[in-house]
A and B are shown apart, each in its own frame.
Chain A
Amino acid sequence: MPYAAPPETPPAAVSAALTTTNVRVTSSFRGARIVLYGAVFDPTAQPSDVVVIVRGPEAPLRMARKTRVAGVWVNSRPVVFEGAPGFYMAASTRPLGEIASFGTLRRLGAGVDHLAINAPLEERTETRYGVRDVVVSRLGQDYLDWRRAVVRLKEQSGLYAADEQGVTFVDRGLFKAEIDLPTAAPIGVYTAEIFLFQNGQPVSRRMRGLTVEKAGIERALYLFAHNRPWSYGLVSVAIALAAGWAASVVFRRN
C-alpha cells in the first residue's frame, strides 16, 4: 500500500532585487539612494519579518582616545580594530530585538551591536579560573567604550545606520527598503543580505551584490595618481606653476 504523503507545503521564501547594482562615483557624486524591492512567498500566512543588512568593504581602522596629560589633551596609542565594515546598514520591519533572540542576531551579525568588531593586536589568551585560552583584551574594562566609539563615529559620518522601520510592506508580500549611500561611502563591493524571519528564526535568506566604483574623469585621475604617482606629482606641480605664471602675464597686460 503506497504511503500517503501529506499535502506538500512549499517552505516560505524571500526574494529581492536592487534598483541599482552599480553606483558610479563621478564628479557630481553626492551620495546615492538605492531601493531594494522584495517579495515574501508564504502560503501559510504566518507572521513574517524581513531584515535587510547591507555591508560595505571591510578595512582595518585605527582609533585613538584623547587623554589629559599635564593639562593638554593628547591622543593615546592608536588601537587597530578589525571587523568593522566600511558601510553598514540594518533595516527591518520591527526593532531587531523583537524579531529574534540575542544569540540569533549575534550569529548573523544583524545590527550594529552585533558586529564582530575587535582589536586582535590587543588580545592575548590566558588561563583564567582553570579555563584555558580565555581571550583577554589589553583594553580591559574600557573595551566596550572603544567598540561603541567605533560605531558612534561611523554613525556620525552616515556610514552606519539602523532603521527599525526601514523595511515597509507596500502590498501583501511585497516590501521595499531604501539604502542611502553617503558621499563618504567607500569604493568597493557591497553585499545586501535579505532575511525572512518567522518565529524568531531566519527561514529564508537571499544575497544581492552592489558595486560602488569611480567613473569618468574621477576614475582616470584616481588611477593616474595611484599607478604613476611621480608623473602625477610632476603634472600637478606643472599645472600650479603654469597657472601662477599665466595669471601674472594676464595681469600685466591689464
Chain B
Amino acid sequence: MDIYLPIAEVSVNAPILIALGAAVGFISGLFGIGGGFLMTPVLIFLGIPPVVAVASEANHVAASSTSGVISYTRRKAVDFRMGGVLAAGGAVGSFIGVEIFRWLRLLGQADLVVALSYLIFLGVIGALMLSESLTSILRQRRGAPPKRRKDRRPPWLYGLPFKMRFPRSRLYISVIPPLVLGVFVGILSAIMGVGGGFVLVPAMVYILRMPAGVVVGTSLFQIIITTSLTSVLQAGRNQTVDVVLATLLLIGGVLGAQVGARASSRFRAEELRALLALIVLAVGLRMGLGLFFTPAEPFVLMAGNG
C-alpha cells in the first residue's frame, strides 16, 4: 500500500514504514536512545530527501521517547532535574546546530560532515562500549567478582562552581558539566538528525557517573525536549517536517518503544550495552566508509537552492 507524502513529495510503502518505526521504537525503548541514528540513514536510503528525513525523524523520536519515558517514570527511573539541566543546554545547542547545518548546506559540505560525524562518533562510542561490555561479560563468565565501580568521581566535577543537588541521581555537582554536555548533544543532534542518546547515555554513565538505573529514563526525557524543539524549529524555518511520514513512523514507534522498555528489564545491563555497541558500530561504519570508496556517480544533485 503506497502513500504519497505531501512534503517529501515521494511515494512510500506504508506497511514497511510502520514496521521500521516499530523496530526502531523497540530498540529505542530497550536502550533508552531516540533511535534517530538508525532511522535517519534508513529513510535516506529509502529515497526520502535528507532534509525531510532529518526533520520528520525528530518528530518520530519525540513520540517514541514520550512513550518510553512514561514507563520509566512509573519505575521512578527518571531524574527530571538532571534532565531539565541537560535539556536547557540541548536547546541552546540545537539553535547553534541548525545554524551550522544551514551554513554547511550552503557550502555543499553537509553530506560530508554528516557522514564523518557518523563515522567518528558512532565508531568511537561503539568501539569503547563494545570493549567495555565484553570485558565485564567475560569477567562474569570466568566467575571473577565484577570489577568494583570506581566511586571516586573525577575531581573536576566537584571543583566547578554553581553546584546543584540531584537527589534522584544521588549527586551534588556543578551544573556546568551537564549544561556543556547538553549543548554538545544539541549541536550533534541538529547536524546528524538524531536525538543524541547514543552520546548522552555513555556520557552520563562514564562522565557524570549517574546511577545506571536512572540514566536511560533521564536520557529519554532530555531527548523529548530537544527533539520537540528541533521539530518545531525545522517546521517553522525550513518547512521540512512531513507530518504523514512522522505519523506513519510513530504508529509503530510508540508501540515498539513500550515493548522495548518492558524487555529491557529482562536483559543484563552488560549484554544490552554490548548489543547496542554492535548496532552503533555497524551504522557508523556503514555511513562513514562510503567516503573512502570511489563513487559510482561522481555528480550529486543537491536539494534546494541554498
B-binding residues in A (CB < 8 A): 25-31, 59-66, 68, 71-78, 80, 146, 149-150, 152-153, 183-184, 187, 214, 217-219, 221-222, 225-226, 229-230, 232-237, 239-241, 243-249, 251-252
Contact = CB atoms under 8 A, between A and B. Distances in A.
Contact of A29 (B4, B233, B304): B4
B295 interface: yes
A247 to B, nearest CB: 4
B10 A184 contact: yes
Contacts of A183: 4, 9-11
A229 B236 contact: yes
Given A236-B231, A246-B254, A221 B66 contact: no
Given A221-B243, A237-B232, A240-B62, 8 more contacts: A29-B11, A30-B11, A61-B302, A184-B10, A230-B236, A236-B59, A236-B231, A244-B62
A225 B299 contact: no
B95 to A, nearest CB: 15
Interface stretch (B163-171, B176-184, B208-216, B244-252): B244-252
Nearest to A233: B235
Given A239-B243, A245-B67, A153 B299 contact: yes
Given A29-B4, A62-B306, A226-B239, A233 B254 contact: no
B91 to A, nearest CB: 14
Contacts of A63: 299-302
Interface residues of B, number: 61
B99 interface: no
Grouping DSSP codes into helix (H, G, I), strand (E, B) and loop, the B interface class, with mixed when no group exceeds half, is helix
Given A66-B298, A222-B6, A244 B231 contact: no
B301 A62 contact: yes
A77 B297 CA distance: 17
A68 B294 CA distance: 9
Contacts of A146: 299
Contacts of A232: 235, 239, 241, 243
Nearest to A68: B294
Interface of B: 2-4, 6-7, 9-11, 59-60, 62-71, 74, 107-109, 111-112, 224, 228, 231-237, 239, 241, 243-244, 246-247, 250-251, 254-255, 257-258, 291-295, 297-302, 304-306
Contacts of A66: 295, 298-300
B108 A76 contact: yes
Identify which of B224, B228, B251 gathers the most chain A CB atoms within 10 Å of its CB: B228
A97 to B, nearest CB: 26
Contacts of A235: 243
A217 B7 CA distance: 12
B298 A240 contact: no
Nearest to A217: B6
A74 B290 CA distance: 11
B298 A237 contact: no
A244 B305 contact: no
A143 to B, nearest CB: 13
9 contacts: A73-B291, A75-B108, A183-B11, A184-B9, A225-B7, A225-B243, A241-B224, A244-B70, A244-B257
A244 B300 CA distance: 37
B292 A71 contact: yes
Contacts of A74: 109, 112, 291
B298 A65 contact: yes
Contact of B232 (A28, A149, A233, A244): A233
Nearest to B119: A72
Contacts of A29: 4, 11
Given A62-B304, A245-B67, A72 B292 contact: yes
A244 B252 CA distance: 11
Given A221-B244, A237-B232, A28 B302 contact: no
Contacts of A150: 299, 301
A233 B297 CA distance: 36
Contact of B299 (A59, A64, A244, A247): A64
Given A239-B243, A243-B250, A27 B3 contact: yes
A237 B306 CA distance: 26
A232 B300 CA distance: 31
Identify which of B4, B231, B241, B246 gathers the most chain A CB atoms within 10 Å of its CB: B4
Nearest to B294: A73
Contacts of A60: 305
B116 to A, nearest CB: 8
B24 to A, nearest CB: 14
B108 A77 contact: yes
